[in-house]
């Protein structure tokens, strides 16, 4: 057989390929629409076009406003305030870019637009979104979708971009028996909730508690419940029992890149439905609402905690080693949770709906052993909350708000945790500046796994392990570059450890 390598044709294709990857129209480009065209677009969407600015702009020069500046200053790290601003981002590195617009500087200090979109559509309904997508398509604009601005990869901002801001699309509809559109006749419905695109987790959780159900959602108060969390996969303390966010999606309504409004579910468009469930960010359109399965309330919620303090680096290494090796057993027993480590300290919390003292003692035996080691001080215990909402009220928080945090991470299988522990520990030891974060998701080998676009490794992994860098807003460029490269190096080391079949959670990956 004569084999023709398609790569031989590459030089001919290159001009086409590079043309295909050209930057779309941004503010300042000659192709950017004229003021008249913007004005006419603005009136077609009932005047909902706004100029978006970095979150500290109200404290500087022509945008200075004493009262708004005072609000911005006092709420700088408040995630509720931050996610309600069209130009504010949780990881402020995706707001500032190379520009300066700091909250702590004088009124006449510089305030560049950074990576914040130039114009945003403050969408109030589906037709605003359709109009914006069509306008962007027609004018070839650099379009971004912004919901809360929590993204850690910078996918919800863009220098000089045109943005669709979904924050104001609020609404929750609870169903006792939801039937996806186009279901075969006679299909009986199941309990579910339809969330509009701007909904955020704390509001959903409070309402779910009123309706006597639980929803698989993030360990966060202000992360979007029907935006990037969902398209990336969506992990949750309940995911071990009920699957990832994507596994709970029954139906998605979205505006396609051509501006059509579509309903996607497993009956009417299984391939599109597959892609949007894990395809990541805004790759497959602008979601306007998502319907998730709901679940019964647990009879109680058991919380297990462990914290260890060590007096030497070698004993910290031993503690981490035992903790890594204990994870498959603990998560397979139904305990999922979170952990953080820093210079000799390791703190862990685990949750199990309906957990008992018996399951706790057996799953946590390896941690009791750690607490008895030389040079280690440890506390281990458990207690029960009567309801899921009690657990959420106590433990839900939004960490790292208004920081420059940049992650690198991998999903760790039992094989990696048990057989490559030393390589993981070497990595931790080689980068002592980096913060350690653990999401002990547990196995999420849902029956839906192969019907979604999330990475296959979720079937086998027990935990997402994250190492991150951060810097002061005014850190010198060289320092920022050094830390960014450090995160990239660690990502390379992770890739060697987990091998070619490994992977990570797209929403918490290294950008
Ligand atoms: C404090 C904090 C806690 C977190 N906790 C968890 C957790 O417990 N579990 C977990 O899985 N993840 C968690 N994450 C990660 C989170 O899932 C991602 O940051 C995610 O990208 C946030 O989505 P968003 O819609 O809120 O944010 P945005 O930054 O507004 O959007 C993120 C991405 O989704 C796209 N997007 C948003 N809305 C839409 C839409 N309607 N249609 C199409 N595309 C859209 C954006 O364009 C962007 O690409 C956490 C993040 C933070 C900052
Ligand atoms: C869009 O129109 C509204 C209402 O007329 C106006 O308040 C707003 O400033 C306009 N937006 C822009 C960016 O000009
Ligand atoms: C900002 O902070 C103040 C307290 O400093 C609070 O009263 C106010 O509600 C906050 N505003 C927003 C929008 O969150
Ligand atoms: C602003 O300055 C104060 C006082 O120096 C400091 O505590 C605070 O962390 C600074 N905030 C930021 C966002 O840099
Ligand atoms: C939730 O349960 C409470 C207590 O059993 C009951 O009074 C209430 O009507 C229930 N709410 C809904 C929406 O089912
Ligand atoms: C916990 O127990 C309740 C009540 O018995 C039950 O409805 C629920 O499905 C259980 N939850 C889990 C996660 O096992
Ligand atoms: C532990 O390791 C860190 C980083 O390598 C080092 O700076 C520190 O001196 C060590 N501490 C001890 C007690 O050896
Ligand atoms: C305990 O710590 C001391 C110094 O703090 C060190 O000399 C000793 O080797 C440590 N022992 C173990 C078992 O790590
Ligand atoms: C740890 O030490 C305590 C107190 O000495 C003891 O009761 C317990 O059995 C020990 N646990 C293990 C797992 O060794
Ligand atoms: C660890 O490696 C051994 C030897 O290769 C293998 O038999 C075992 O299955 C591995 N453990 C896990 C949990 O994969």
CA distances from 161 to 101, 150, 390 (A): 18, 18, 41
Average pLDDT value for the chain: 94
- Which atom of ligand 7 lies at the shortest distance from residue 429's CA? 5
What letter does residue 506 receive in the DSSP assignment? Answer: G
pLDDT band at 80 (very low <50, low <70, confident <90, very high): very high
- Which atom of ligand 9 lies at the shortest distance from residue 365's CA? 13
Phi, psi of 123 (to 5 degrees): -65, 140
The pLDDT of residue 11 is: 46
Residues with CB under 6 A from ligand 7: 312-313, 432
pTM of the model: 0.94
For the chain, give the longest Cα–Cα distance.
76
Q: Which of 309, 306, 377, 305 is nearest to 343 (CA)?
A: 309
- Which atom of ligand 7 lies at the shortest distance from residue 311's CA? 13
Distance CA 387, CA 62 (A): 50
pLDDT digits (tens, 9 = 90+) for 286-300: 999 999 999 999 999
What distance in angstroms lies between residue 449's CA and the mean position of ligand 6's atoms?
22
Residue 464 has pLDDT above 70, yes or no: yes
Angle between helices 421-430 and 477-498 (to 10 degrees): 170
Smallest-distance ligand from the CA of 430: 7
pLDDT band at 21 (very low <50, low <70, confident <90, very high): low
Residue 3 has pLDDT above 50, yes or no: no
Residue 19 neighbours by CB under 8 Å, 6+ apart = none
Q: Is the CB of 110 inside a 6 Å radius of any atom of ligand 2?
A: no
CA distances from 108 to 52, 387, 409 (A): 20, 51, 40
pLDDT band at 8 (very low <50, low <70, confident <90, very high): very low
- In this prediction, residues 21-36 reach a mean pLDDT of 92
Burial letters 110-122, b for 16+ CB under 10 A, else e = ebbbbbbbbbbbb
The pLDDT of residue 20 is: 52
- Which atom of ligand 8 lies at the shortest distance from residue 315's CA? 14
Smallest-distance ligand from the CA of 475: 4
Distance CA 12, CA 295 (A): 55
What distance in angstroms lies between residue 482's CA and the mean position of ligand 7's atoms?
21
The pLDDT of residue 159 is: 97
- In this prediction, residues 48-55 reach a mean pLDDT of 98
Residues with CB under 6 A from ligand 6: 241, 296, 298-299, 353-354
- In this prediction, residues 280-288 reach a mean pLDDT of 97
Q: Is the CB of 368 inside a 6 Å radius of any atom of ligand 9?
A: yes
Beta strands in 83-231 (DSSP E): 119-122, 143-146, 162-165, 172-178, 190-196, 213-214
pLDDT band at 179 (very low <50, low <70, confident <90, very high): very high
Three-state secondary structure readout of 20-41: HCCCCECCCCCCCCCHHHHHHH
The pLDDT of residue 23 is: 85
- Which atom of ligand 9 lies at the shortest distance from residue 372's CA? 1
- In this prediction, residues 180-197 reach a mean pLDDT of 96
pLDDT digits (tens, 9 = 90+) for 198-242: 999 999 999 999 999 999 999 999 999 999 999 999 999 999 999
pLDDT digits (tens, 9 = 90+) for 125-159: 999 999 999 999 999 999 999 999 999 999 999 99
């Amino acid at each position: 057989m004569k084999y023709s390598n398609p790569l031989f044709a590459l030089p001919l294709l290159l001009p086409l390929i590079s043309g295909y990857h050209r930057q779309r129209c941004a503010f300042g480009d000659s192709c950017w629409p004229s003021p008249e065209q913007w004005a006419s677009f603005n009136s077609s969407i009932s005047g909902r076009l706004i100029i978006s600015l970095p979150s500290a702009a109200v404290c500087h020069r022509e945008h200075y406003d004493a009262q708004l500046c005072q609000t911005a200053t006092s709420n700088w790290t408040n995630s509720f305030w931050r996610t309600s601003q069209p130009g504010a981002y949780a990881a402020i590195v995706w707001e500032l870019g190379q520009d300066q617009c700091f909250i702590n500087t004088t009124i006449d200090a510089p305030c560049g637009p950074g990576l914040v979109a130039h114009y945003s559509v403050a969408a109030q309904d589906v037709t605003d979104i359709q109009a914006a997508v069509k306008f962007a398509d027609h004018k070839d604009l650099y379009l971004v979708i912004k919901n809360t601005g929590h993204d850690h990869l910078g996918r919800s901002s863009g220098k000089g971009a045109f943005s669709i801001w979904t924050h104001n699309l609020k609404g929750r509809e609870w169903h006792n028996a939801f039937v996806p559109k186009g279901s075969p006749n006679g299909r009986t419905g199941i309990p579910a909730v339809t969330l509009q695109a701007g909904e955020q987790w704390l509001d959903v959780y409070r309402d779910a508690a009123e309706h006597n159900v639980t929803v698989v959602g993030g360990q966060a108060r202000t992360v979007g419940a029907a935006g990037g969390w969902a398209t990336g996969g969506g992990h949750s303390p309940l995911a071990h029992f009920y699957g990832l966010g994507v596994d709970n999606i029954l139906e998605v309504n979205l505006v396609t890149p051509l501006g059509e409004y579509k309903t996607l579910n497993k009956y009417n468009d299984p391939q599109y439905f597959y892609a949007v469930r894990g395809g990541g960010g805004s790759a497959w359109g602008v979601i306007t609402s998502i319907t998730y399965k709901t679940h019964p309330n647990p009879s109680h919620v058991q919380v297990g905690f462990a914290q260890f303090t060590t007096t030497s680096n070698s004993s910290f290494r031993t503690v981490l080693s035992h903790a890594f090796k204990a994870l498959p057993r603990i998560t397979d027993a139904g305990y999922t949770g979170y952990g953080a480590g820093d210079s000799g300290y390791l703190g862990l919390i685990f949750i199990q709906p309906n957990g008992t003292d018996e399951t706790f003692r057996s799953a946590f035996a390896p941690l009791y052993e750690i607490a008895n080691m030389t040079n280690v001080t440890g506390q281990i215990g458990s207690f029960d909350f009567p309801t899921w909402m009690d657990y959420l009220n106590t433990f839900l928080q939004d960490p790292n708000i208004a920081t420059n945090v940049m992650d690198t991470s991998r999903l760790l299988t039992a094989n990696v945790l048990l057989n490559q522990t030393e390589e993981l520990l070497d990595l931790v030891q080689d980068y002592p500046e980096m913060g350690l974060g653990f999401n002990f998701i547990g196995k999420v080998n849902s029956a839906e796994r192969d019907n979604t676009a999330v990475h296959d490794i979720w079937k086998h992994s027990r935990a997402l392990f994250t190492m991150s860098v951060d810097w002061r807003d005014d850190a010198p460029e060289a320092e920022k570059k050094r830390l960014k490269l450090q995160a990239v190096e660690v990502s390379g080391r992770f890739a060697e450890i987990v091998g070619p079949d490994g992977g990570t959670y797209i929403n918490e990956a290294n950008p």
